[in-house]
Amino acid sequence: MPSERASITERRRRAAGKLRERGFGALLVSPGADLFYLAGYQIFASERLTCLVLDPDAKATIVCPELEARRAAVGAPDIARATWGETDDPYAVVASLVRAPGVIAVADQMWAAFVLKLQAALPGRDFAVASDITRGLRMRKDDAEVEALRLVSESADRAYARILERPFAGRTEREIGADLADLLRAEGHDEVGFTIVASGANGASPHHEIGDRRIAEGDTVVLDFGGGMRGYRSDITRTVHVGPTAGREEQKVHDVVRRAQEAGYAAARKDATAESVDAASRRVIDDAGYGEFFIHRTGHGIGLDGHEHPYLVRGNREKLEPGMAFSIEPGIYLPGRFGVRIEDIAVIDTDGSARPLNRADHAFATVA
Ligand code: ZN
Ligand code: ZN
Ligand code: ZN
């Protein structure tokens, strides 16, 4: 197996190949998932510019503030550095490293303040988003990336198993959310991204995060949470019932969502289109008469970003390939009443089928 640094070098080589193919002059990447992907180096975005400059001939340089030079040297020992002092112009440093003609690709999440200064420092150049170059690479995960996603997904599974042992009734969504965050860290996450605890009628809003609502017996609660482990993201949703037995409609809706998710799994295979997975899940919910209450796409890619390509949505005819990892997360949201969503991360395996990376039980669990 190639070393980690070797596979990161290979990614830059491929990205440079895309630059040549497209006639681009350079790829400029500020802190974020693309920087971690292409340099193995991560640092929080700040007003001081850090920027990887990648040439079409695969020459890479990290432009960074002097005070971060040591960190950059440790994080990416095999990449050249160009440092700038507090009174220097970092944009001129970047511009001096851009030697090839052509379009400049900048990280999708680069701050506007940086992009505008870079445009001024590189007059006459056209600019494009880096995903033109990196999207196809990042979408097809290598074995080490799939393994990282499996580990972080299983860590989230364990956090879910442990939250089921905690009391829900009488506690607020915020308290359950704090428990989930603690459990994610206890189970190996180095970063908590989000904790959605949507109880009762709050569950009808897919992205309700947490509030001060006090959870009561009889509630249905949507738990959707995730974070990061060595850069790779988790994202899992289960819906639980508070008290000994769920009502008939809650059970029915949960069953429909579970079958919709299974249909998504069955449809997700090599060469199937992204939209066909969405259609398969949606058909189950439509047939059960709840179609108007499934108000979002069926899934999104996941990797170094929590949401990335491919998106499982009507209109996306992109074909699934081995190494693509994405969520399958149908839901039904009944306004003023409750919601149900079930979400796993799956990856297209070398045999062409969708392998679940989350293994937590899909049953409608009851909590106290
Ligand atoms: Zn979401
Ligand atoms: Zn989620
Ligand atoms: Zn998701």
| Centre of ligand 1 from the C-alpha of residue 235, in Å | 9
| Centre of ligand 2 from the C-alpha of residue 225, in Å | 6
**What is the Cα–Cα distance from 69 to 84, expressed in whole angstroms?**
9
| Centre of ligand 2 from the C-alpha of residue 26, in Å | 35
pTM: 0.93
| Centre of ligand 1 from the C-alpha of residue 326, in Å | 12
| Centre of ligand 3 from the C-alpha of residue 69, in Å | 36
Res. 1: pLDDT tops 70? no
Confidence of residue 38 (pLDDT cuts 50, 70, 90): very high
3-state helix, strand, coil in the chain (%, to 5): 40, 25, 35
| Centre of ligand 2 from the C-alpha of residue 118, in Å | 35
| Centre of ligand 3 from the C-alpha of residue 127, in Å | 31
Residue 209 has a pLDDT of: 82
Structural domains of the chain sorted by starting position, each given as residue range(s) with its CATH number in brackets:
4-138 (3.40.350.10), 140-367 (3.90.230.10)
**Mean of pLDDT values over 246-270:** 97
pLDDT tens figures, 73-112: 999 999 999 999 999 999 999 999 999 999 999 999 999 9
Question: What is the SS3 assignment for 354?
Answer: strand
Residue 3 has a pLDDT of: 76
| Centre of ligand 3 from the C-alpha of residue 87, in Å | 43
Res. 2: pLDDT tops 70? no
| Average pLDDT across the chain, whole number | 96
For the CA of 325, the nearest ligand: 3
Q: How far is CA 227 from the centre of its chain?
A: 9
**Mean of pLDDT values over 134-148:** 95
| Strands, E assignment, the chain | 24-29, 51-54, 60-65, 80-84, 103-106, 127-129, 191-199, 220-229, 232-233, 236-242, 299-301, 308-312, 325-328, 331-334, 338-341, 344-348, 354-356, 366-367
Q: Which of 367, 20, 323 is nearest to 219 (CA)?
A: 367
| Centre of ligand 2 from the C-alpha of residue 224, in Å | 5
| Centre of ligand 2 from the C-alpha of residue 306, in Å | 9
Q: What count of Cα atoms within 13 Å lies in the side-chain half-sphere of residue 117?
A: 16
For the CA of 300, the nearest ligand: 3
Confidence of residue 207 (pLDDT cuts 50, 70, 90): confident
Task: Give, as residue ranges, everything with CB less than 5 Å from ion ligand 3.
Answer: 235, 327
For the CA of 327, the nearest ligand: 3
For the CA of 225, the nearest ligand: 2
**Mean of pLDDT values over 108-129:** 97
DSSP structural state of residue 47: S
